[in-house]
Structure 1
């Protein structure tokens, strides 16, 4: 690292290396030794600024001058070639890449599904879904047979929950994970994600076709689900935009939750004392899940670009600069969290920024936390002798960060 006008210059090379992807926290710790914001002068980094301190990340996520990557940005910077990729068209048509009035309209439409009252009313249904999946886990793991906790529990539970919320029939839900994984692979950092583009485009075509058909069915025969409510809404929304948002809501609604459950279980199985405490006191699950979100969040970054000159933590950011906002680093900021590399469910030092902040704060945050704090204690009560049956392997992504599999024995 070196300095320019009092601001540290760095590179993302170590973060995006194999070692950095396996464990980004040493890189985050190094960043924190150099303030809240660093410059990225190397063009190969594909960003101009990295924001990593807790206060700076909070400020950046709320700065009206820092926009998500709306369609006009890649049009101006890289031309219109991106529009030939179905996966990129879906992403840019979704709420995650919207600003202004369109963002407000779509967010209002979808926020009805994720209000605190509606989510609280879902808790009995979440408990029933978890219980049913635990029964299935018991069948698969009978006699000490190794089972994959991700494939057989952590993925299907949130898939069932968001599927019921949206109105995706139960018999269709097993069709989604393979396509969702392919679609999500292009969301990570680094030029290497482009090798996944063809598979992501095919997945996007499959998923948009499915949701177009579902929208048509609910328009003809409404049911008691979110898709029926959305197609009946007075607000005019093009079907392509509605479908893009249904697709990304469904994908985001269960993949991040599945990784949160998987990361939580791995921490518990590595810490028998904490496992015993959560098992003895289900109320402890709230603080435990909150700490997992800080310590091992399923999402480590967000991306912004400067639509106008601005500054973050006193560092000027000129118009059109690309900004990498490191949520995972903010959650390990020693200026905010005491001993940030220590897992402590009892800490009370403020909210982690894993769900972002400001106008793009995650709509599904309340539901994700509810599912996790219900599923994890129920899993432990049903299988108090739950144990790892093998190493799950390294996590190598920073977006949708979790294990590919989690082999366990339930008896």
Structure 2
């Protein structure tokens, strides 16, 4: 099914899936997986207690790397991050980090993010005075990185280093079957990240990373589990946000009608963000592993097999969303699944949408003056976003 998968436009492949059975076995993707594409099935699987998120060992073994102490440390760190924990361990760890992303915590971050957006906006306008600029490099990459550094308390971390670490992890997690060189590069990136986060001299005392490492009141077990959560937050809080921001910019630059709609009706901005999340989900799929044999839609699913939950397909299920291929800022999007569902619903969903809202509020008046000259999509099957969005000021009419 995914042999002819087009990363530039996966939605025709999802439409073909909908013409067939609700479960499709793909022997090649991820070493063999059941493709789950209907909204109701994806939503049910996301909250199913007998499906596991643990899959780090499978990635490592598929890459065929030789065992080593560094590889074991890498596996141990990645497997302890919240996104790869099942209950009850997941419940214990999530309770620790939830407070940092509560409504109250986001209120305190509001002013900080606004200042970051204003600084970036000014820098972009200055650059555009001298020619073209890349919205991804100037806005979509630095903003979520700087915000996550603010959240964690990492003033000593160079922005370029943070971006290199996070994007290396994205290349690993975003590939269906990572090879050995990719695994080794990712191992080095994660261990370098952990070394930095494990050095108190790099952490703002009282900041989130410092508390995760040192606060004995937190119900975290061992140094590796503590470091793993800081690593996870540093990475996960960056990738989803940068891809959403790039999709928002591309969408609005490509559709002047939508652009004018938001300029005239700024109260629609939150709904527009939710609609872009649904229409072009930053995360196209996630996975679960069967912990026991099951029968589902007449198929016998065996313990250990992988379910690939196609979020991008579920978000365009016509049984849930009328005219799903249309971008409609008036749509009710309570059912969209871009940020997951159930206990693994994205911890930073509120922060991601706050960043997007504050960015649009400041950048919308600039967009009618910009012309998109070149765009380049990222080439990872798990993610949707842009590597490059080159813009310049529109020529003034003579």
Normalising by structure 2, we get a TM-score of 0.90
Pick from 23, 34, 56: which aligns with 2:41? 56
Q: Is the contact made by 1:35 and 1:53 (CA closer than 8 Å) also made in structure 2?
A: no
Change (3 A) 1:377 1:98: same
Deviation of the 1:280 alpha carbon: 2.2
Matched residue of 1:266: which SS? helix
- Asked if residue 164 in structure 1 is aligned to residue 155 in structure 2, the reply is no
Please list every run of 5 or more consecutive structure 2 residues that lacks an aligned counterpart in the other structure: none
Partner of 2:281: 297
Asked if the contact 1:65–1:309 (Cα under 8 Å) also holds between the matched residues in 2, the reply is no
Deviation at 1:356, TM superposition (A): 0.9
- Cα drift, residue 342 of structure 1: 1.2
SS at match of 1:406: strand
The residue aligned with 1:227 is 209
Distance (whole Å) between structure 1 residues aligned to residue 9 and residue 41 of structure 2: 22
What is aligned with 1:4?
Answer: none
SS at 2:376 equivalent = coil
Which range moves more in the overlay, 293-302 or 120-129?
A: 120-129
Contact 2:63 2:178 in 1 (8 A): no
Structure 1 residues 362 and 241: alpha-carbon distance in aligned structure 2, compared to 1, 3 A threshold: same
| Count of paired positions | 390
Displacement of 1:47 after TM fit? 2.5
Corresponding residue to 1:406 among 370, 375, 389: 389
Could you tell which deviates more after superposition, 239-248 or 365-374?
A: 239-248
Aligned to 1:186: 172
> What is aligned with 2:301?
317
- Matching residue of 1:173: 159
Output aligned runs, 1:72-83, within 5 Å: none
Please state whether the residue corresponding to 2:288 is helix, strand or coil.
strand
Aligned to 1:3: none
Q: Is the 8 A contact 2:312 2:338 kept in 1?
A: yes
Sort the Cα spacing of 1:233 and 1:366 in 2 relative to 1 into closer, same or farther, 3 A.
farther
In structure 2, what is the Cα distance between the partners aligned to 1:73 and 1:209? Answer: 25
Which residue is 1:65 aligned to?
50
Residue in structure 2 matching 1:123, options 105, 110, 118: 110
Check the 8 A contact 1:158/1:253 in 2, yes or no.
yes
Q: 1:361 maps to what in 2?
A: 345
Given that 1:141 and 1:147 are in contact with CA atoms closer than 8 Å, whether structure 2 keeps it comes out as: yes
Q: TM-score if structure 1 supplies the norm length? A: 0.87
Output aligned runs, 1:36-51, within 5 Å. 36-40=22-26, 42=27, 46-51=31-36
Structure 1 position 347 matched with structure 2 position 331: yes
1:317-336 correspondence to structure 2 within 5 Å: 317-336=301-320
Q: Contact conserved, 1:59 with 1:312, CA < 8 A, in 2?
A: no
> In structure 2, how many angstroms separate the alpha carbons of the residues matched to 1:136 and 1:70?
41
| 2:98 maps to 1:111 | yes
Give the Cα–Cα distance (whole angstroms) in 2 for the partners of residues 125 and 298 of structure 1.
24
> Displacement, 1:193?
5.0
Aligned to 1:205: 191
With over 3 angstroms needed to count, the CA separation of the structure-2 counterparts of 1:82 and 1:258, relative to structure 1, is farther
Contact conserved, 2:169 with 2:190, CA < 8 A, in 1? yes
- Determine if contact 2:140/2:242 at 8 Å carries over to the other structure: yes
The 1:79/1:380 distance shift into structure 2, 3 A limit, reads closer
- Asked if 2 retains the 8 angstrom alpha-carbon contact of 1:69 and 1:303, the reply is no
CA distance in 2: counterparts of 1:76 and 1:176, whole angstroms? 27
Q: Please, which moves more after superposition, 182-191 or 255-264? A: 182-191
Shift of 1:194: 4.5
Shift of 1:409: 1.8
Matched, 1:374 2:358: yes
Is the 1:187–1:193 contact (alpha carbons within 8 Å) kept by the matching residues of 2? no
1:393 alignment partner, SS class: strand
Closer, same or farther: CA 242–115 of 1 in aligned 2, 3 Å: same
Indicate the SS of the match to 1:392.
strand
Cα distance, 1:227 vs structure 2? 2.1
